[in-house]
Amino acid sequence: MKRAWVWGISILLIGGVVVIAGLFLATLLVVSPQHGCQAMWGDGVALLDLHGPIVEVDALLEQIEEARRDDAVKAVVLRVNSPGGSVGSSQELFHALRRLDREKPLVASFGMMATSGGYYAGVAARKIFALPGTATASIGVRMSHLDAEALLQWSGLKPEILKSGYFKDVGAMHRPMREDERALLLGVLGDMHEQFRATVAERRGIPREQLDPMADGRVMTGDAARAAGLIDAIGDLQDAINAAAAYAGLDPDPRVIHFEPQRPWWMALLGGRVRAAMQGVLAQFPLPGFGYYWLP
């Protein structure tokens, strides 16, 4: 009796291992570098979310690349709800989105706010939708400086700065800003502003003499931005999805493919993201002959 019980448990364990191994190998066969896991459910429009201040953009850059490489993704919608952020990060997003649009049509949908760097990233799209009351534009660059000299004197604190270059402590809080420092920083801001204006003028096809008077940092509504040529149409997210589908030759109201931030492999598996789950498994338990290139 005892031996039968042991044999039964052993058979169950072996059967479970065989089933898990079979599912794992089947996933490797289905998820190929050419087609990706999304192909199991058919073609569609990918939805990428640019939300909040633009500072650290590595996760979104990975999603952009994933959308570019996934054959099931025929078009992409960038949903923007951002007040802007770092100039460099906004430019990095813009260039990644331009590369994406050269292979797959990209449409932008502005929600509550798409200002400054949020607008900068959005002009990478071939068509921009916004709501009538969307806060957008704000084509400008800003920098803040806090002069805390009086506070430090009151507290009795006395900073000592060691530097190897004349301008190395530009913007330091322990003293007022010098005029040559102010001129230097204004020059940097002016250069960044010119890059912003030139990008908008090129992407939106607006002559500089028409763009420059309104590229002074002012915020505009969606209605005003459309009249100025800064966006293309008034519409919501579904309008943008349908427009992206039309660019790609898909039927209206297409399947929407959601790309989300990277999660632990077991959460990804529960959420149906098989490829992400297998990437996590291989990262933690690499198998001989199975590199990461199997699951791009």
Please identify every residue annotated as catalytic: 116, 168
The answer to whether 206 and 200 are in contact (CB under 8 A) is yes
Proportion of the chain in helix, strand, coil states, percent, rounded to 5: 50, 15, 35
Residue at 170: amino acid letter: V
CB distance 275 to 30 below 8 Å: no
> What is the crossing angle of helices 274-284 and 2-30, to 10°?
110
Q: What is the CA radius of gyration of the chain?
A: 26
Strands (E), the chain: 44-51, 73-82, 106-115, 127-130, 135-137, 219-220, 233-234, 256-258
DSSP state of 38: G
